[in-house]
Chain A
């Protein structure tokens, strides 16, 4: 298929994204606390951005492909991806926002008060981020190959370049508008052709015998081998994995407060539910008119091929172009969000070269390029893994590591850092092992192969159990400020309470860096109007937080001296500091 309209559409989407990004950069400069103090973002805009970032190539292309190929059991995928946000809502959303953490490693440091736990979290963020990036790049290659016949690497490279162009100048701060825009673009791109396609399908009379296409294995649930285990494992991974994705957490900081975080999440549930019905319909239509794609091994491209199966000429070209635009938007937004959050962690937690602000930005940009390059090469290595399956594995890893850390950390005072570390190692080790064996096809037979294919049902309970047992065995390591942390996580913001002095940025300050403007700057510091961010193209929340190593006061802090640990001494927190947020 050679479709010039689609190429134009893809180029237009890229240009529009860059333009909206540039616009966002200007707007967010005038509303400097857009990200920092997080005011002024309505739940709907924020929810659009979250959904836009979350709906990846796997959702846009992969779900329809899997339903086409494997039928009703795959319906659990969109359900799980949506229900994941429900669990995020009920267990994590408000406390996570209230924690003030920018990233998962920040949260680990706040709750566990352990640098080791923080670094382990950073490593996991990188691992999960890369694993999630691979399917996005694969999706890009697939899209352009389907549209133009170009080899896969062309599409992959194209996305990598556009993502870099989007991230390098402004980082994440320019990206929020882009992602909100992408959600609606994706929704319209799937919805509009759907009416025409449905009309065309119902008018067709020369269908092959439907009985040969809609076979029992496809229509009826649980017909495959080990289907019950696979289904439950998939459900567990997707329900619990969402809260552990690095680019999801970052978004929660842009909510005004804990309640806004909840309402935003509720809006996300609505937006995702509305979206996920569409690929299902595509899958079913595909089964009817394009079931040969399964045998050809191109089930993933069903969404893009449907218009040309049902229409001819300019109509087919136009619809394909619209779908191509949506697909391109899908992996652009997700990979941009991932690259920003991973690069932020790499540049600050893992590499940490350069102490100053300028070096911080440079480190961030180098990390961005590095992350994209690594993801690209891994994409080539893992070429055989179907797009959506790689994403399933990512969810399994997130569900086996960050999910127990977050759930136990938020709701159980007893979680200690050795417990969390042990649990993340066990869960992460098992699920990553599964990823490796599946990717390279080492073990694919018998029960072992089945477990490796969907490791969550084994690795998640083991990770939880390890965390609880080790925590119970190491009670003496209970974090010193855990009581204060619990107040911070659970008490509504409008109540005037001492929430401790933790602030993520304090971690990034190096010992010995002088603080010339110490206490004098405190007032402006706590309103969130961080001058360094306002005047540079600093990438943000995920990354600026890391990058913005300005020698200034700590926001929300109670003292002004140079601290390396993110906490003040116990003495300093024992009374109610005048600078914590209070209403009356």
Chain B
């Protein structure tokens, strides 16, 4: 995330007029940084202020596919993927291990719950209950992840 392409948004206008439509290809900014001494440069405002304020939103970082924008999207993807893998892990370590359990402990069929052999109970009511609970949990948390992401974007947007 700290590669050269990852220009802090405020530093972008260096070597250029800050006015304009805000389009700022990151490659151009990088190239313009080097020959500053030789090329003619118009400076229209103190450069220190550029570093302080964020005048480019994260949304446009993402739109222009800068490294920073990619980091934001990747963080969203990671949080969602982590959540999904968590659900998968729970499913695999409960339902997924049942066949092994049945193999390892054959006596499990002798246990009766409400007159029904335990494996039948586990593979019907319990399994479906778990699936629904996991689904509910996932929906709740994935929406929370998305809210966090959109708050992040809104919070950094000037005037938003």
Contacting pair B77 A497 (CB below 8 A)? no
Interface size class of B (residues with CB under 8 A): 35 or more
Neighbour of B109 across the interface among A220, A490, A574, A575, CB < 8 A = A220
Neighbour of A411 across the interface among B77, B91, B103, B109, CB < 8 A = B77
| Interface size in chain A (residues, C-beta < 8 A) | 50
| Minimum Cβ distance to chain B for residue A498 (Å) | 4
Q: Is the interface of A mostly helix, strand, loop or mixed?
A: helix
Interface centre among A90, A269, A277, A484 (most CB of B within 10 A): A90
Also in contact, A89 and B120, with CB within 8 A (given A222-B99, A487-B73): no
Q: CA of A157 to CA of B120 in the docked complex: distance in angstroms?
A: 38
List CB contacts (< 8 Å) of B69-125 with chain A: 70, 73, 76-77, 80-81, 83-84, 87-88, 91, 95-96, 99-100, 102-103, 106, 109, 117, 119-120, 123-125
Contacting pair B77 A495 (CB below 8 A)? no
Stretch of B7-15, B31-39, B41-49, B132-140 lying at the A interface: B132-140
User: Cβ of B23: which chain A residues have Cβ within 8 Å of it?
Assistant: 575
Smallest CB gap from B160: residue in A: A584
Contacting pair B102 A277 (CB below 8 A)? no
Q: Which 9 A-B pairs have the closest CB atoms?
A: A273-B128, A75-B123, A90-B84, A220-B109, A221-B102, A498-B63, A492-B146, A269-B135, A266-B135
Neighbour of A277 across the interface among B64, B70, B128, B149, CB < 8 A = B128
Q: Is the interface of B mostly helix, strand, loop or mixed?
A: helix
Q: CA of A270 to CA of B143 in the docked complex: distance in angstroms?
A: 19
Neighbour of B59 across the interface among A76, A259, A492, A497, CB < 8 A = A497
Contacting pair B91 A86 (CB below 8 A)? yes
User: Cβ of B136: which chain A residues have Cβ within 8 Å of it?
Assistant: 266
List CB contacts (< 8 Å) of A476-493 with chain B: 483-484, 486-487, 490-492
Also in contact, A76 and B135, with CB within 8 A (given A228-B99, A486-B73, A492-B150): no
What would 26 A/B residue contacts be, using CB atoms closer than 8 Å? A72-B117, A72-B119, A72-B123, A79-B123, A79-B131, A83-B91, A83-B127, A86-B91, A89-B139, A90-B88, A90-B138, A91-B84, A94-B142, A219-B109, A221-B99, A221-B102, A221-B109, A222-B103, A259-B146, A262-B138, A266-B139, A276-B128, A491-B76, A492-B146, A498-B63, A576-B63
Contacting pair B124 A491 (CB below 8 A)? no
- The reply to whether the CB of B153 lies closer than 8 angstroms to some CB of chain A is yes
Q: CA of A228 to CA of B127 in the docked complex: distance in angstroms?
A: 18
Also in contact, A219 and B99, with CB within 8 A (given A89-B135, A277-B124): no
Q: CA of A497 to CA of B72 in the docked complex: distance in angstroms?
A: 13
Interface centre among A82, A487, A576 (most CB of B within 10 A): A487
User: Cβ of B120: which chain A residues have Cβ within 8 Å of it?
Assistant: 72, 75, 219
User: Cβ of A490: which chain B residues have Cβ within 8 Å of it?
Assistant: 73, 76-77, 80
Q: CA of A276 to CA of B128 in the docked complex: distance in angstroms?
A: 9
User: Cβ of A576: which chain B residues have Cβ within 8 Å of it?
Assistant: 60, 63
Q: A262-B138, A492-B146 are in contact. List 6 more A-B contacts (CB 8 A).
A: A86-B91, A228-B99, A269-B132, A490-B80, A497-B59, A574-B25
Contacting pair B87 A86 (CB below 8 A)? yes
Smallest CB gap from B100: residue in A: A228
| Minimum Cβ distance to chain B for residue A484 (Å) | 7
User: Cβ of A83: which chain B residues have Cβ within 8 Å of it?
Assistant: 91, 95, 127, 131
User: Cβ of B62: which chain A residues have Cβ within 8 Å of it?
Assistant: 487, 491, 497-498
Q: CA of A385 to CA of B143 in the docked complex: distance in angstroms?
A: 44
Contacting pair B150 A494 (CB below 8 A)? yes
Q: CA of A219 to CA of B66 in the docked complex: distance in angstroms?
A: 60
List CB contacts (< 8 Å) of A492-520 with chain B: 492, 494-498
| Minimum Cβ distance to chain A for residue B139 (Å) | 5
Smallest CB gap from A276: residue in B: B128
| Minimum Cβ distance to chain B for residue A89 (Å) | 6
- The reply to whether the CB of A579 lies closer than 8 angstroms to some CB of chain B is no
| Minimum Cβ distance to chain A for residue B106 (Å) | 7
Contacting pair B125 A277 (CB below 8 A)? yes
User: Cβ of A231: which chain B residues have Cβ within 8 Å of it?
Assistant: 99
- The reply to whether the CB of B65 lies closer than 8 angstroms to some CB of chain A is yes
User: Cβ of B77: which chain A residues have Cβ within 8 Å of it?
Assistant: 411, 486, 490
Contacting pair B119 A221 (CB below 8 A)? yes
List CB contacts (< 8 Å) of A436-463 with chain B: none
